[in-house]
Amino acid sequence: MARKTESIELDRATASALKARAAERGVSVSQLVSELVPLAVDDKTIAELDRRWAAATKAGATVPQAEVERWLRTWGTPEFRPWPGK
């Protein structure tokens, strides 16, 4: 019976890392990913991540990514300032 496959887009660095790790282990990239996914994603882990995210957002402990990126771009420049409020 033929397996149905799907393509997933990855950035080049991630794809290269997966290919290298698969080659080191002597398996295909699809075999490597199929072995890793069950280790990383289970209902208990997802529930804990959801709980932590809810606690962080309730406490107002999140910052928009664009704001963080803007601040990070100032590192090593004369415009660098400590993170606001810290």
Domain residue extents for the chain: 12-72
Among 83, 81, 46, smallest CA distance to 63 is for: 83
**pTM of this prediction exceeds 0.85:** no
- Each residue's pLDDT, cut to its tens digit, for the chain (86 residues) gives 677 888 889 999 999 999 999 999 999 999 998 888 776 677 888 899 899 989 988 888 788 899 999 999 999 999 999 988 76
Contacts of 80 by beta carbon, 8 Å cutoff, 6+ apart: 74
